[in-house]
Structure 1
Amino acid sequence: MAAQAQCNGSDPVGYEEGSGPFAMIIIPSLLALSTLIVVSQIIWSFVTKRSSAQVITGSSSNVNEGEPVPLDTGVGTLRPAQEALGQWEIPTQCTLVGIEPLQMGRYGPICKGQLKQDNTSTAVVIKTLKDRSNQSEATEFVDLVLFHATVSKHENIVKMLYCQTCRTPMYLVLEASFPGNLLHFLWSLREDRCGAGDNFQVFSERSVYLVAKQIAAGLDYLHSYHRIIHGDVAARNMLIGSGLSVKVSGLDWAFKSRQMRMVSKEQEVNVPVKWQAPERIMRLPLTDRSDVWSFGILLYEMITLGSPPYPDLDPSEVLPNTLAHYRMKRPENCGAPLYDLIKYCCMWNFKDRPVYSAIIRLLDSYKYLADTKPLRSEQEMDICEYRRKAGLPQ
C-alpha cells in the first residue's frame, strides 16, 4: 500500500490534477491579451487610413504642391473625369520648354512654349490652373480639359495634345498655329507685314471662301456631333496656320454654357453686341442659327481685313437698327455672291438662315466666281479705335 501510494504521488496524472486552478487563470488571460492585440491593430489601421485621406484632401485644396492630387469624390479616389483623361496625360518623355506668358485666362496664365518629344519640337499653347486654386476651381478645370478632349477630334477644331490633371501644376496643352489669331493676321495684311512665307502673301476673296468653308465645317461638327453652340464666332477666336489651314478656337463660352445648362449674364457681356443675333440681343433662346448670324459677321471681317462690323454704328445703336432690319453696306472688294451669303446668314428670322451644310455647299459653288486679286487696305488699324467701334473692353 505504501509502495502504491508512493507510485500514485509521482504519477503525471496526479500533477495535472494538482495544476487545474493555475490553468484556469492563465488561459483566459492569454485569450484576453490576444484579443486586445487584434483590436489594437484594427484601431491603428483605421487611424492610419483616415490620416491618409486627410492628407489627400488637404493637397487637393492647394494644387501647387507638386504632388498627386486626386479630386475628391467623397471617398478619396479619382473623379471619373480624371480617369477618362488617363490616355491624355503627358508622357514622361515629353517636356515643355521655352514657356512664355501670353495673357491671363479664366483659370490661370495662358502661355506659349515648345513641346519636345522624340527629338521633335512642336509649338504649343498651354492653359494652366493658377496657384492656390481651391477644390471647386480644380474640378472645373479638369472638366474643361475633358471638354477639349471630347470635341477636338475634327481637323478644323483646335487640337488638344496632352494634359496634366493627376498632379500639380495642372495644365492643358493645345496645338499652336502660325501666324495664329485670324484677326491679327488680317490686320497684318493691311500693313503688308505678315512675314509668314510666300503662301500667306496672297489673301484674296477666294481665300475668304477657303477659310470660311473650314470654319463652317468645324462649327457644323460641334453642333451635329455634340449639340454645341459656339457662342462667340468671330475672327478673334479663329486660328490660321500654314496653307490657310484654319481651326475653330475660343471654346470657353461653349464649355461654360454646356456645363451650367444655361447662359449667364457674365458670359453674354463678354460677347460684343455687334456679333450677336437679334434673338440673342433680346435674350431669347439660342440655336445653332444664332452662330450662323455671327458667321455672316465673320465673313464681313475677313473681306474687310479685320474692320469692325457696322462701322457707321455705335454699339448702343445696333439693337434698334437691327430690329429695323438694318443691313451693312456691301464692302469694297466684296463680290455680289459673297455679299448675298453675308445677307443670307444675317436674316432677321433665324429660321430663314442657312444651316452649315448649305453654307458649305454655297461656299464651294461661289469660290470659282471669287476674285483672286490680293486684298489690301491702305488704312492701318488703330487698335484703340477698333475696340471702341467693335464694343470690346478697352
Structure 2
Amino acid sequence: MNSSEEFHRNENGWQNSVIIIPALLSGCTLVVVAIIVWRSVCNKVQRKESKEKTKGYLGDWAVNAAGVFENSLDAPDPVLEKRQLPAGWTLEHRAPLCDGHFGPISCGDLCRAGEDSQQVVVKEMSEHCSPGEVQDFIDLMKFYVQVCNHNNLVTMLWCQTTRRPPSIILKAMSYGNLLTVLRSSREVARTSEGGPPRITEKDVYSMALQVASGLEYLSGTHDLIHGYVAACNVLLHEDLSVQLCGLGLAAIQYRSGSVPLRRAAQVPLKWHSPERLKGADITEKSDVWSFGILLYELMTLGSPPYPDIEPSQLPSKLRKTFRMERPTLCGPQLSEVMSGCWQWEAPLRPCFTDLLKLLQNGQDQADRWTPLTPGDTLSWREYLSVAGIPT
C-alpha cells in the first residue's frame, strides 16, 4: 500500500469519527433530558394528588397556606363530620373581639332562613399557624365534641373544616369575659337592661361553685388539668351562669397524655402554684391553687394577685407563710376556702369535690345584699403590668 492510499484511508476514518461521536453525544443528551422531564412530570402529578387529598378536607385554603396543612389529615374525621356547620347557615354581623392563640376571635349572629338568629363566638385559625398548631386546632375541635359535655364548660355548636378559614363556632355568653365584667362593674351600676351586674359575695359563691363543678368534671371524669384557672378564662351569662374556656392545655393533654411545658410556661406567673414555679408537673392540686387566685379576683372585682409584688420577683418572694390579705367584704368561710387552696404542700390542698362541699356549706351565710368594692384603682394598662400579662 502506497503512502497516498494510507493517507486517504486515515482521512476517511477521521471524518467518520467526527460525524459519529457528536451524534452519540447528542443522543445521550436527549435521553438524559427526556428522563429529567419525565421525572419532573411525575413529581408534579404526585404533588397534585397530595394537594387534592388535603383539599378534600380543608379546602383551597389548606393548600394556599404555605403548605401548613400538607399531610395533616388524609381523610375527613368522623367525629368532626357530624359537627360541620350545615348548609344554609350563615355567620352575619361579625365583630372582632381579640386575637387568640390560633388566630382571630370574633362574635356574630348564626342565622338560618326562617329561624331566630343565635349569638356565637367564632375562633378562626390563622394561615400563619405552624404545623403543630394546626394539629392542636383540629384536636381542640375534637376535644370540644368528646369532652366538653358539661354545663360549666364552653360549648362548641359547630365547626368548619371544609371552608376557608377553618373555625370553631361556640355558644356565646351574653356578658362575655368575666374579668372584663368584674372591672366594668366597678364603674357602672346596673341601671339598665344588659348593664354590668352589681356583684355580691353571694354571687361569688354561685360563680365559684360552677367553676369548681367544671374543674371537678375535667379532673374526675377525664383526669385532665385546666392549667390556667383565672377570671379571664371564665365566660359569664346574664343569669350569672358561667362556663370555663381557655381549654387549650387540657385539649393537648387529652390527645397526648401530657402537658407541654413550653405552652404551660405561657401562663402568667401570678397564677402559678409554688410547685409549678419550681418546674414540677402540673396537677389537679395546681389548679386548686389557681382556683384560690380566682376567688381573690372575684372578691376584689378583678384586682391582680399579689398587687405589691412584681411578677419577676414572685418566685423569690413567695414563701410558705406568705398569703394575700383577705379582701374587703370577704366572709370567714370563703377566706378559709382560699387559705385551703393556698396550702404550700400540694397534698394538703382540698380536691375539687371537697371544694364543692365547702362552698355549698358556706353559701347560706354569704352576704347577698352588699355590692363588692374594688381592691385597687388601677387602669387597664396598669392592671396588665402588675398582673404580668403580656400586651
Q: Is the 8 A contact 2:224 2:253 kept in 1?
A: no
Question: 1:194 Cα shift?
Answer: 5.5
**CA–CA separation in structure 1 for the residues paired with 2:180 and 2:190:** 9
**CA–CA separation in structure 1 for the residues paired with 2:194 and 2:140:** 37
Higher mean C-alpha displacement, 282-291 vs 159-168: 159-168
Question: 1:55 Cα shift?
Answer: 4.3
Question: What is the identity, as a one-letter code, of the residue corresponding to 2:232?
Answer: R
Match of 1:385 in 2: 382
**CA–CA separation in structure 2 for the residues paired with 1:332 and 1:274:** 20
Q: Is the 8 A contact 2:57 2:75 kept in 1?
A: no
**CA–CA separation in structure 2 for the residues paired with 1:125 and 1:334:** 34
Match of 1:152 in 2: 148
Q: Secondary structure at the match of 2:117?
A: strand
Q: Secondary structure at the match of 1:254?
A: helix
Question: 1:218 Cα shift?
Answer: 0.5
Look at both structures and tell me which one has the larger radius of gyration over its CA atoms. Answer: 1
**CA–CA separation in structure 2 for the residues paired with 1:151 and 1:214:** 17
**CA–CA separation in structure 2 for the residues paired with 1:178 and 1:58:** 37
Match of 1:102 in 2: 97
Question: 1:197 Cα shift?
Answer: 3.2
Question: What is the identity, as a one-letter code, of the residue corresponding to 1:390?
Answer: A
**CA–CA separation in structure 1 for the residues paired with 2:371 and 2:299:** 11
Q: Deviations over 1:229-262 (max 9, x none)?
A: 0000000110010211000011123223444544
- Which of 213, 217, 221 is matched with 2:217 structurally? 221
Higher mean C-alpha displacement, 234-243 vs 193-202: 193-202
1:318 aligns with 2:314: yes
Match of 1:90 in 2: 85
Coordinate RMSD, CA, aligned: 3.1
Match of 2:108 in 1: 113
Aligned pairs, how many? 345
Give the direction of change, closer, same or farther, for the CA distance of 1:135–1:289 in structure 2 (3 Å limit).
closer
Q: Is the 8 A contact 1:205 1:370 kept in 2?
A: yes
Question: 1:73 Cα shift?
Answer: 6.1
Q: Secondary structure at the match of 2:82?
A: helix
Question: 1:144 Cα shift?
Answer: 1.6
Q: Secondary structure at the match of 2:157?
A: strand
**CA–CA separation in structure 1 for the residues paired with 2:246 and 2:132:** 22
Q: Is the 8 A contact 2:62 2:70 kept in 1?
A: no
**CA–CA separation in structure 1 for the residues paired with 2:198 and 2:58:** 50
Give the direction of change, closer, same or farther, for the CA distance of 1:195–1:112 in structure 2 (3 Å limit).
farther
Determine what percentage of the aligned residue pairs are the same residue. 35
- Which of 248, 252, 255 is matched with 1:256 structurally? 252
Question: 1:104 Cα shift?
Answer: 2.2
**CA–CA separation in structure 1 for the residues paired with 2:59 and 2:194:** 45
Match of 1:189 in 2: 185
Q: Deviations over 1:159-192 (max 9, x none)?
A: 0000011343311101111211111111011102
Q: Is the 8 A contact 2:97 2:106 kept in 1?
A: yes
Q: Deviations over 1:36-78 (max 9, x none)?
A: xxxxxxxxxx99x9687344146479854499x9x7769x841
Question: What is the identity, as a one-letter code, of the residue corresponding to 2:94?
Answer: I
Q: Is the 8 A contact 1:178 1:196 kept in 2?
A: no
Give the TM-score normalised by the residue count of structure 2: 0.79
Give the direction of change, closer, same or farther, for the CA distance of 1:89–1:313 in structure 2 (3 Å limit).
same
1:358 aligns with 2:354: yes
**CA–CA separation in structure 2 for the residues paired with 1:66 and 1:320:** 46
Give the direction of change, closer, same or farther, for the CA distance of 1:217–1:121 in structure 2 (3 Å limit).
same
Higher mean C-alpha displacement, 55-64 vs 144-153: 55-64
**CA–CA separation in structure 2 for the residues paired with 1:261 and 1:356:** 21
Q: Is the 8 A contact 2:58 2:163 kept in 1?
A: no
Q: Is the 8 A contact 1:63 1:133 kept in 2?
A: no
**CA–CA separation in structure 2 for the residues paired with 1:72 and 1:66:** 8
Q: Secondary structure at the match of 1:222?
A: helix
**CA–CA separation in structure 1 for the residues paired with 2:94 and 2:270:** 35
Q: Deviations over 1:174-221 (max 9, x none)?
A: 111121111111101110256673896341101100000000000111
**CA–CA separation in structure 1 for the residues paired with 2:242 and 2:57:** 39
**CA–CA separation in structure 1 for the residues paired with 2:185 and 2:385:** 21
Gaps spanning 5+ residues in structure 2: where?
A: 1-41
1:208 aligns with 2:211: no
**CA–CA separation in structure 2 for the residues paired with 1:134 and 1:269:** 19
Matches within 5 A, 1:298-337: 298-337=294-333
Q: Deviations over 1:261-313 (max 9, x none)?
A: 44444323321111111110111122101100000010011011111111222
Question: 1:125 Cα shift?
Answer: 0.9
Q: Is the 8 A contact 1:61 1:133 kept in 2?
A: no
Q: Secondary structure at the match of 1:88?
A: coil
**CA–CA separation in structure 2 for the residues paired with 1:331 and 1:133:** 42
Gaps spanning 5+ residues in structure 1: where?
A: 1-45
